[in-house]
Amino acid sequence: MGTLHPHFIVGIGGSAGALNAYKVLLDALPSQTGMAFVIISHMNPTAHSQLAEILSRHTIMPVLVASPAMSIRANHVYVIPPAADLLIEGYTFTVVVPRTGRNKQVDLFFTSLAEALGAHAIGIILSGYDGDGTAGCQHIKAKGGTTFAQDMSAIVDGMPLTAQAAGCVDFVLPPDKIAEELANIGARVAQD
């Protein structure tokens, strides 16, 4: 199963306060959804990120830092590398270094995801300041994909509330309930 293309690729965008949300989401997520999960987190470009290592304690799925031309596989979790923009081409990653700007990584990835997967793109906006991810969610919706925003459980509600205010969010839920809904979507596709 690990070598198959995912039925859906799920972009998960967050910034300040999102670490706990990532953990809760992964803790509640079944390991065999047939989906791939890509975490786009705002990071200091000079920081050495431990995010993949930290998150690997919250799922039995492999958690990898995305690298150029890496194949995107079902039932895997990928993390954006620091100081880079991450894009999708087909079922592989494109890594752009240096990144094009500060706190635009979620929009860039979600827009790329929408173009690559259309109705099989899913975007999730978790805790964070500002509005990164909103334009990306609009692209996902325009291409027939599904979008989520964290509810008032977000430690910092700027990113989720901006996406909701733009009218491009299908579900507003806490991270554990987002995981449940993703499992439901995966189960429906498996039955088809």
Domain residue ranges in the chain: 8-191
Helix orientation angle between 158-165 and 134-142, rounded to the nearest 10 degrees: 40
As beta bridge partners, residue 94 has: 87
> What is the CATH architecture of 8-191?
3-Layer(aba) Sandwich (3.40)
Q: In this predicted structure, what is the pLDDT of residue 34? A: 94
**What pairing do the DSSP bridges indicate for beta strands 85-89 and 92-96?**
antiparallel
In the chain, what's the furthest Cα-to-Cα distance? 45
* Token pair for 112: 């790329």
Mean pLDDT of the chain: 94
Q: Following CA atoms 117, 56, 54, 70 in sequence, which dihedral angle do they give, to the nearest 10 degrees?
A: -40
Tokens of 87: 């894009």
Q: Going by C-beta distance under 8 Å and a sequence separation of 6 or more, which residues neighbour residue 174?
A: 24, 150, 151, 153
- Joined together, the tokens standing for residue 148 give 């989520």
Quote the tokens at residue 185: 């979507």
Phi, then psi, of 57 in degrees rounded to 5: -80, -5
> In sequence order, what E strands does 69-120 have?
76-79, 85-89, 92-96
- Here the tokens at position 126 are 């978790």
CB atoms within 10 A of CB 184: 11
Q: Report the half-sphere exposure of 82 (CA within 13 A, side-chain side).
A: 10
Q: Taking residues 152-171, what's their average pLDDT?
A: 97
> Mean pLDDT across the stretch 166-174?
98
Q: Tokens in use for 135? A: 């334009």
Span 19-61, pLDDT tens digits? 999 999 999 999 999 999 999 998 877 777 899 999 999 999 9
Q: Which two tokens stand for residue 53?
A: 């290592």
3-state secondary structure of 100: coil
What pLDDT, in 10s, does the model give residues 128-143? 999 999 999 999 999 9
